[in-house]
């Protein structure tokens, strides 16, 4: 969907959001399977809004389910402990639902939020744990 200003100029996504929605985004985390892609799109469209954090279910799956032959979303949702979405595969609704189900299933394997984010947040992404400073003599 495109939105146009009165002067015929196309408005960006950020300019179409209500002020209340802008305020609510302040502490929001995003989640995606190979989340670099979703993060890149959001930052291009909402350059003034970095999410509080980025959860990558691909990273999390590799840490949670060791030695699987494939970590694609298709392969992971075929695991017996995951609920299948009723929509069509490779459509946004289905992929979002499947990714959420995957996150819920894997989150149960971690005792704390810090443990989960330590493996699920890609380096240099919002929400990544700060690297520990190396102790020096001086």
Query: What digits encode the pLDDT tens for the residues 62-117?
Result: 999 988 899 988 888 776 455 555 556 666 777 888 888 889 889 999 999 999 99
Pairing of strands 29-32, 10-11: unpaired
Question: Kindly report the CA angle at 120 between 93 and 45, in degrees rounded to 5?
Answer: 50
Confidence category of residue 6, pLDDT binned at 50, 70, 90: very low
Q: What confidence category does residue 55 fall into, taking pLDDT thresholds of 50, 70 and 90?
A: very high
pTM of the model: 0.71
Is the Cβ–Cβ distance between 20 and 8 less than 8 Å?
no
């Amino acid at each position: 969907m495109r939105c146009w200003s009165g002067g015929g100029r196309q408005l960006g996504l950020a300019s179409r959001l209500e002020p209340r929605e802008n305020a609510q985004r302040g502490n929001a985390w995003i989640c995606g399977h190979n989340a670099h892609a979703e993060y890149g799109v959001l930052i291009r469209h909402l350059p003034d809004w970095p999410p509080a954090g980025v959860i990558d279910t691909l990273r999390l799956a590799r840490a949670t389910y060791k030695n699987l032959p494939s970590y694609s979303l298709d392969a992971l949702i075929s695991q017996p402990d995951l609920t299948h979405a009723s929509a069509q595969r490779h459509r946004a609704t289905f992929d979002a639902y499947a990714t959420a189900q995957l996150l819920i299933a894997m989150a149960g394997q971690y005792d704390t939020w810090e443990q989960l984010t330590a493996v699920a947040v890609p380096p240099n992404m919002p929400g990544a744990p700060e690297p520990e400073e190396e102790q020096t003599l001086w």
